[in-house]
């Protein structure tokens, strides 16, 4: 097949060959095809079942609806067994309280509860009185039969259960902080807001499922954007969002036309067209015209498709996308053979069975309860809703012309080629090999979890600005790994963080300890064999520097667990150099060393654990703290753990079982002290690194004893979750959750 290459991107003609030769590239393309189907299928599904919903007016400012959503999201998350019963109970409860507002029993509108007579306590008392008027329900009895026992429903009626929850909210200073789960847990209950009957409820479930897949399945949202964009989804009228997204399909661009939206503290619409989440969403919605670009691929796109010579380099991502689109569109038109092959590739990948649900409307986290309820899978709405999404996505793909389908495929190939370039250049991938070897690679290569990338890119920017960086967070959040990857990028002048780094290429890493003194960090005198003394250079000093005139290292040093050493004492003399306020200092206690000079390449990336989890530490003084830019790493979300399990290309039945076990664990942990809500995302109080045993089991690097091997994979996966978390202080709470999931009492 003769190929006419684009002058802007001469490699376009060999991307198909690379796709067939590099397994990771094929996996990346398949992943993004699945994302494309969710985004476009969600857009079509939301349009087909469009409704008018203003989150502020229809949810936040109606206290009765807000507390009902919190109740069901807390007490009944992933408990659709029997699904018909829970659906009936929930719909009846929401209708009951809607009738109360229509009757004038709930006069309040707003979220400043103390501004109303009696404050929140007065509101809660009114809600309790109305809840007590809920009639007994045979459907609630059916739920109690399935969800009884040690971890089940204790109250005999819905009224008792709801009243108990509302009474709990009165006992705390701010009930949303303690009793309102993250957005992902509350979203499945939004269809009940305003639903009139079961048929109307199903229409609303179809809408919100489509809306969620449209806005919440991009890589940018899942791995970072949810912390800021979830607030936008929860405060902007859905019609406003859909109209703007729809305009992209006819040529509108977020930088020119804006993406007007509202977040939690906004009093008016604000343009968020430059948000990375919006930019990537625009790319997927417009993939038949422009490629999608994210923070990792932007530098390479800029080098290949940037402004021509003589013009200033473009800094606008959307202009960069248009430049790339001109090259890819020209290439596809000029190569009919490649066009047919690319279009065929997209349609073949899109025809593959849908991946596992990344979110559900009527989920269930207990196979025991599901079996006890006697229901069929079709009794829950998810099967019908997922089929509708798949049909909508298939319709979108089928409606693409050959040119459009080929351009989509080419954009996906370009992204995958750039994304995996770091691994190829670093020796992490044999281009000619067809076998994806995972076990063993865990020990030779350090892989960067996607969820950590935004924090690392920010840290790299701080280093370039002359700052030092401090990563803070709970154990297992990936602080050390991220510090080492960022340090590697700094030492090698990389524009972006690599996906993985060979262990041999990691930066100098040291762990602070309480025995440290200035001798270890700066230097001092040490004895020689002839009973004399000689200067000794500490960890921060260039070992090859001139005698008498020392200088800092010309590289990044990773200082792990910084607060285990008294660094005010250990590096106090270097403070002026760390802040670059002077170019050299004169050490007071090291004979023969006249000066220590600064080095423009010297950087420190330090890590500290949460003080609440590790009290055997030295306090960090204000003088030390202000010389570091602090970046806090949150505990692991469900997506973070799932992503961590899949690092290194793990796949197969074990991974499916492990992902199901993680999702079930998060669902069952709702309401426990293991989870807390951060920026509308439910997160564990520790990092994904705690699931290391589960990950090793997935890749075959862990041999289990015979009694576990004989069990079914789901049971094995749950036991691996238990074993992974066995070192936690709250291991008893973990055991209770696992026992609940496997059916123990």
Number of alpha helices (DSSP H) and beta strands (DSSP E) in the chain: 36, 16
Q: Residue 413 — pLDDT band, cuts 50, 70, 90?
A: very high
Alpha helix locations (H) across 76-197? Answer: 83-102, 119-131, 138-146, 158-170, 175-179, 183-186
Count CB neighbours of 549 within 10 A.
Answer: 12
Which pLDDT value is given to residue 693? 87
Condensed to tens digits (0 to 9), the pLDDT of residues 144-194 reads 999 876 556 889 999 999 999 999 999 888 899 889 988 988 999 999 999
User: Domain-by-domain residue ranges, the chain?
Assistant: 10-51+207-421, 55-192, 437-633, 638-742
- Residue-level pLDDT at 663: 85
Contact 100, 64 (CB under 8 A): yes
* Sign of the alpha-carbon torsion through 290, 295, 298, 300: negative
Average pLDDT, the chain: 85
pTM summary value: 0.76
SS3 state of residue 305: helix
pLDDT number for residue 422:
46
Instruction: Using the predicted structure, report yes or no on whether residue 439 has a pLDDT greater than 50.
Output: no
**Over the stretch 668-703, which tens digit does the pLDDT of each residue have?**
787 777 888 877 788 888 888 889 888 888 877 777
Is residue 373 a contact partner of residue 141, using CB atoms and an 8 Å limit? no
Opening angle at CA 194, ends 667 and 183, nearest 5:
30
Flag whether pLDDT at 705 surpasses 70: no
Give the angle subtended at the CA of 35 by the CAs of 326 and 50, to the nearest 5°: 95
The Cα–Cα gap between 393 and 284 comes to 13
Overall average pLDDT of the 694-713 stretch: 73
- Per the model's pLDDT, the better-predicted residue between 382 and 153 turns out to be 382
**Beta strand residue intervals within 598-644, DSSP E:** 603-609, 628-633
In CATH terms, 437-633 corresponds, of 3.40.50.300, 1.10.3720.10, 3.30.565.10, 3.30.2350.10, to: 3.40.50.300
Is the confidence at residue 9, as pLDDT, over 90? Answer: no
Interval 114-152: pLDDT, tens: 999 899 999 999 999 999 999 999 999 999 999 876 556
What is the pLDDT, as a whole number, of residue 354?
61
Q: Does the pLDDT of residue 391 top 60, yes or no?
A: yes
For residues 255-277, give the mean pLDDT. 92
Question: DSSP class of residue 378?
Answer: G
Picking from 497, 510, 326, 505, the residue whose alpha carbon sits closest to that of residue 422 is: 497
pLDDT classification of 45: cutoffs 50, 70, 90: very high
Q: Of the ranges 238-247, 429-438, 676-685, which one carries the lowest mean pLDDT score?
A: 429-438
**pLDDT of residue 612 exceeding 70:** no
pLDDT at 140: 96
Highest averaged pLDDT of the listed ranges 235-239, 261-265, 414-418, 488-492 = 235-239
pLDDT at 737 over 60: yes
Q: Which residues lie below 8 Å from residue 351, measured CB to CB, with a gap of 6+? A: 394
């Amino acid at each position: 097949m003769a190929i006419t290459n684009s002058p802007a991107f001469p490699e376009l003609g060999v991307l198909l060959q690379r796709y067939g030769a590099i397994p990771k590239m094929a996996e990346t393309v398949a992943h993004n095809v699945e994302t494309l189907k969710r985004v476009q299928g969600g857009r079509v599904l939301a349009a087909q079942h469009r409704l008018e919903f203003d989150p502020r007016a229809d949810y936040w400012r109606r206290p009765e609806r807000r507390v009902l959503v919190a109740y069901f999201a807390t007490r009944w998350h992933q408990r659709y067994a029997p699904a018909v019963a829970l659906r009936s109970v929930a719909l009846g409860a929401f209708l009951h309280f809607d009738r109360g507002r229509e009757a004038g029993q709930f006069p309040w509108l707003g979220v400043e509860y103390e501004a109303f007579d009696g404050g929140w306590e007065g509101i809660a008392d009114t809600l309790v009185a109305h809840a007590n008027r809920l009639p007994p329900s045979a459907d609630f009895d059916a739920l109690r039969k399935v969800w009884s026992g040690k971890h089940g429903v204790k109250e005999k009626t819905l009224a008792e259960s709801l009243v108990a929850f509302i009474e709990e909210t009165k006992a705390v200073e701010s009930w949303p902080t303690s009793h309102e789960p993250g957005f992902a847990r509350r979203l499945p209950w939004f269809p009940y807001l305003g639903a009139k009957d079961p048929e109307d409820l199903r229409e609303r479930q179809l809408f919100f499922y489509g809306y969620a897949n449209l806005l919440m399945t991009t890589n940018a949202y899942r791995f970072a954007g949810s912390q800021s964009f979830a607030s936008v989804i929860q405060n902007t009228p859905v019609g406003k969002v859909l109209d703007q997204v729809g305009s992209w399909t006819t040529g509108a661009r977020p930088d020119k036309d804006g993406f007007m939206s509202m977040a939690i503290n906004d009093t008016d619409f604000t343009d968020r067209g430059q948000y990375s989440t919006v930019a990537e969403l625009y790319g997927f919605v417009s993939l038949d015209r422009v490629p999608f670009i994210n923070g990792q691929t932007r530098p390479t796109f800029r080098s290949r498709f940037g402004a021509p010579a003589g013009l200033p380099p473009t800094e606008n991502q959307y202009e960069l996308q248009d430049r790339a689109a001109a090259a890819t569109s020209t290439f596809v038109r000029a190569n009919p053979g490649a066009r047919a092959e690319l279009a065929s590739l997209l349609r073949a990948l899109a025809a593959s069975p849908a991946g596992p649900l990344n979110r559900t409307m009527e989920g269930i986290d207990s196979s025991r309860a599901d079996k006890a309820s006697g229901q069929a899978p079709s009794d829950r709405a998810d099967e019908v809703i997922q089929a509708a999404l798949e049909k909508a996505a298939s319709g979108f793909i089928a409606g693409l012309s050959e040119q459009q389908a080929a351009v989509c495929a080419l954009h996906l190939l370009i992204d995958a080629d750039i994304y995996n370039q770091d691994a190829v250049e670093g020796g992490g991938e044999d281009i000619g090999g067809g076998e994806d070897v995972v076990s063993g690679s865990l020990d030779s290569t350090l892989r960067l979890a996607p969820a950590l990338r935004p924090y690392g890119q920010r840290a790299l920017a701080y280093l370039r600005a002359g700052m030092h960086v401090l990563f803070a967070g709970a154990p297992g959040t990936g602080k050390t790994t991220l510090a080492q990857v960022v340090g590697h990028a700094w030492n090698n002048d990389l524009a972006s963080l690599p996906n993985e780094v060979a262990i041999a290429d990691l930066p100098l890493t040291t762990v602070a300890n309480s025995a440290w003194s200035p001798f270890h960090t700066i230097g001092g005198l040490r004895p020689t064999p002839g009973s004399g003394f000689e200067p000794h250079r500490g960890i921060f000093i260039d070992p090859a520097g001139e005698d008498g005139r020392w200088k800092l290292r010309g590289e990044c040093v990773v200082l792990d667990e910084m607060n285990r050493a008294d660094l005010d004492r250990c590096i106090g003399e270097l403070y002026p150099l760390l802040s670059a306020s002077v170019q050299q200092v004169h050490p007071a206690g090291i004979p023969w060393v006249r000066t220590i000079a600064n080095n423009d390449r010297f950087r420190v990336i330090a890590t500290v654990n949460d003080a609440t989890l590790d009290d055997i530490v030295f306090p960090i003084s204000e003088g030390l703290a202000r010389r570091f830019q602090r970046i806090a790493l949150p505990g692991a979300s469900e997506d973070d753990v799932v992503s961590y399990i899949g690092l290194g290309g793990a796949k197969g039945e074990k991974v499916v079982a492990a992902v199901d076990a993680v999702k079930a664990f998060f669902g069952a942990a709702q309401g426990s002290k293991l989870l807390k809500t951060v920026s509308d995302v439910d997160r564990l109080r520790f990092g994904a690194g705690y699931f290391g045993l589960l990950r090793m089991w997935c890749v075959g690097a862990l041999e289990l004893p015979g009694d576990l091997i004989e069990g079914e994979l789901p049971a094995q996966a749950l036991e691996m979750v238990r074993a992974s978390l066995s070192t936690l202080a709250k291991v008893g709470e973990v055991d209770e959750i696992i026992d609940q999931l496997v059916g123990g009492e």
